Amino acid sequence: MKRIACPIQTILALVVLLAAASPAGAQSLFTLGETAYLDFAGTIPGANYYAPGDDETYLHVSIGSRRLRVLRGSEVLHEFPVAVGKGAYLRHRDADSGGWLFETPVGVFSVGRKEVDPVWYAPDWHYVEKGRAVPAPDSPKRYFPGEMGKYALYLGDGLAIHGTRNQSSVGRAVSHGCMRLSKNGIATVYPLVKVGSRVIITQ
């Protein structure tokens, strides 16, 4: 896997350039299930103006190399393999209801919430994908303790960086949008970031 050698300022510039180059009809990128929504038409928080400070700790995720880096300014503190969205599309059973595109979105995000021992709430796609009946939204069958590992960092709209029960999936394009780290990876990253810490996701 290639490692990114360019400075983070260049990465941010590329994010903004790609956003500006997107045609109007292709400006929305969806990840449903581990639901994330990103609109390149100007609603990425800080994307046009944000640059990390020299003493700021933040995360950078490269989807292409499937690596997550913890940085302070330009210094790389840690680097780990990370699982990312698999890029598959799942059609809804009801043809008129569309479907789900399982991709990790690019952009500038921030940690909105941190959680120890998170419990995964399974969306409809989980049951459709497995050919099972979809339970009621408040059904106890929707909740899966341990599925997200010991720690989770929520970035908004269901998008998260978290651990996983399936350690072999780390470093691969297999998720439904979220980013999965190994037990050691998420245990290292979790205490280093706080609510409000930036997460930059690039291709």
Calculate mean pLDDT across residues 91-113: 85
**Domain with 155 in it: what CATH number?**
2.40.440.10
Q: 4 or 83, which is more confident?
A: 83
Domain that holds residue 18: 8-202
For the CA atoms of 187, 156, 111, 42, the dihedral, rounded to the nearest 10 degrees, stands at 140
pLDDT at 3 over 60: no
CB 59 within 8 A of CB 189: yes
CA distances, 41 to each of 29, 150, 186 (Å): 11, 35, 32
In a domain, 2, yes or no: no
The alpha carbons of the chain give a radius of gyration, in whole angstroms, of 17
* Partners of 30 in beta bridges: 37
- Residue 17, pLDDT score: 42
Taking residues 51-78, what's their average pLDDT? 92
- What secondary structure does DSSP assign to 44-107, as a single string? STTTTT----TT-EEEEEETTTTEEEEEETTEEEEEEE-BEE--EEEE-SSGGG-EEEE-PPPE
| Other beta carbons less than 10 A from residue 39's beta carbon | 14
Cα separation, 24 vs 53, whole angstroms = 32
Asked, for residue 24, whether it belongs to a domain, the answer is yes
Structural domain includes residue 26: yes
- Read off the pLDDT of residues 57-66 as tens digits, 9 standing for 90 and up: 999 999 999 9
Is 133 a domain residue?
yes
Tokens standing for residue 97: 């209801």
Q: Which helix (H) or strand (E) holds 144?
A: strand 143-145
- Asked if residue 118 lies in contact with residue 161, where contact means CB atoms within 8 angstroms, the answer is no
The pTM of this model reads 0.75
Number of domains in the chain: 1
What is d(CA 52, CA 39) in angstroms, rounded to the nearest whole number?
22
Tell me, yes or no, whether 1 lies in a domain.
no
Residue 122 forms part of a structural domain: yes
Q: What is the pLDDT of residue 95?
A: 60
